[in-house]
Amino acid sequence: MASQYDVIVLGSGPGGYVAAIRCAQLGLKTAIVERENLGGICLNWGCIPTKALLRSAEIFHYMQHAKDYGLAAKEITADLDAVVKRSRGVAKQLSQGIAHLMKKNKIAVHMGEGTLKDAATLEVKGDKGSETLSAKHIIVATGARARDLPFAPSDGKRIWTYRHAMVPPEMPSKLLVIGSGAIGIEFASFYNDMGAEVTVVEMLDRIVPVEDAEISAFLQKSLTKQGMDIRTATGLEDLKSSAKGVTANIKGKDGKVTTEEFSHAIVAIGIQPNTENIGLEGAGVKMDRGFIQIDGYGRTGTKGLWAIGDCVPGPWLAHKASHEGVTAAEAIAQELGNKDVHPHPLDRNAIPGCTYCHPQVASVGLTEDKAKEAGHEVKVGNFPFIGNGKAIALGEAEGFIKTVFDAKTGELLGAHMIGAEVTELIQGYTVGKVLETTEIELMGTIFPHPTLSEMMHESVLSAYGRALHI
């Protein structure tokens, strides 16, 4: 006989486990199904362990520049195995934390492969056999995996995806990074700081192409100064691996193809949703290139079946998945008769994006070009890190903050940052967008001194010709 629940969540990543917790908070009998590790890709192979790696690289970088701070450090070395071990320890700690949260919230955990039999029934095949679960509502949160090159699948030895790059069998000497989105640039930054010779190839005409054009240009200049070889409008024609390394045929801007040798290659060309073989074929849901199509609350169009996270249209970010999880949980509770919840559809213009390279990149809302394409007359503010006392004191005077406003209404349309700790600063503008702030409120806000956040104030003032410190 099937185990009965109000809600079953298929997948325990940052979308799935958050959805399960919110369902439980709302009094719903909830189960979660996971085939590998609680916490999904984010906690085990994505957001968290990569930040642990990048923190080690950041400290290594500072140690090598100790004299810039009046300090002395000699015979500085990096132990890649120890760096990776620390990263895996951080991931393990947080995955165990998710297990604690499941227990605390009385969420039943079923380990195994889940397959939909219909919109209300799930078969789970685990180490101890199969079991059948049923629920009034099922949330699909199966996430995604790295896309392989069709002509050169990853082998974990010389051609890596992000998973291989997090537990490298050896330190690359000469690394090719294919793709310059957040994942590609973060690994390029990590391995460059750790001492590898890094080349990045990007098919489009600029790196981190979803970011504002000024941010992309600044980042490319900074990474080049750090020693990276950055090639835009450049394609990969072929990639072959051997016991000694990889051979790449690279087509440059001029159309010429060169053959080059590298020790390793990281493929970072996007993701593939994990939506095959989970029973969606007969569930009546709409799909587009493998991604489940949903409304602003996570409904698939099939009654009782919901979807969130990386298996639905992007942006494919952990915090967006978590937000979708809460929204879907509250919409389900509302359908089941809870009158105290009032879910709101996802606002894609208020989703911040962060890239944890060196320097960091963060943004929310429309770029200047996108704002103009949307028909806005804009006012743009720009304030450099070199004009901020705290940045200079930190030895982090590289970067700037850019704000984009509607010239007629004063609406904050977008904010774009590059520099130290901007991934921590961006939330100020995100809150501003959610509160539908205008330049008046931001100008009238008192920012503490000395902080990096003062640049956020100055950038707003700059858009209206009122910047004080430049």
Residue 3: pLDDT band (50, 70, 90) is confident
Rounded to an integer, the average pLDDT of 340-366 is 96
Digit-coded pLDDT (tens) for 361-381: 999 999 999 999 999 999 999
CB atoms within 10 A of CB 310: 31
Q: Which residue has tokens 């020693």?
A: 227
Tokens coding 310:
């990386």
Q: If we measure between CA atoms, which residue out of 413, 418, 425 comes closest to residue 454?
A: 425
Cα–Cα distance for residue pair 4/336, rounded to 1 Å: 15
Tokens coding 221:
């200049």
pLDDT for the residue numbered 78: 93
Global pTM reads 0.95
pLDDT for the residue numbered 1: 54
Digit-coded pLDDT (tens) for 378-433: 999 999 999 999 999 999 999 999 999 999 999 999 999 999 999 999 999 999 99
Rounded to an integer, the average pLDDT of 207-230 is 98
Q: What torsion, rounded to 10 degrees, do the Cα atoms 192, 215, 221, 233 define?
A: 90
198: left (phi over 0), alpha (psi -120 to 50) or beta: beta
Please check the confidence at residue 464 and state whether its pLDDT lies above 60. Answer: yes
Digit-coded pLDDT (tens) for 35-72: 999 999 888 988 999 999 999 999 999 999 999 999 99
Rounded to an integer, the average pLDDT of 274-288 is 93
Catalytic positions, written as ranges: 449
Cα–Cα distance for residue pair 174/192, rounded to 1 Å: 10
Please check the confidence at residue 182 and state whether its pLDDT lies above 70. Answer: yes
Please check the confidence at residue 336 and state whether its pLDDT lies above 60. Answer: yes
- The answer to whether the CB of 266 falls within 8 A of the CB of 178 is yes
pLDDT for the residue numbered 2: 66
Q: Could you say which DSSP state residue 297 is in?
A: T
| Dihedral pair phi/psi, residue 412, rounded to 5° | -75, 110
Please check the confidence at residue 101 and state whether its pLDDT lies above 70. Answer: yes
Q: Is 461 exposed, middle or buried (0-12, 13-18, 19+ CB in 10 A)?
A: buried
pLDDT for the residue numbered 225: 98
Q: If we measure between CA atoms, which residue out of 287, 255, 261, 256 comes closest to residue 274?
A: 287
Max Cα distance, the chain (Å): 71
pLDDT for the residue numbered 128: 84
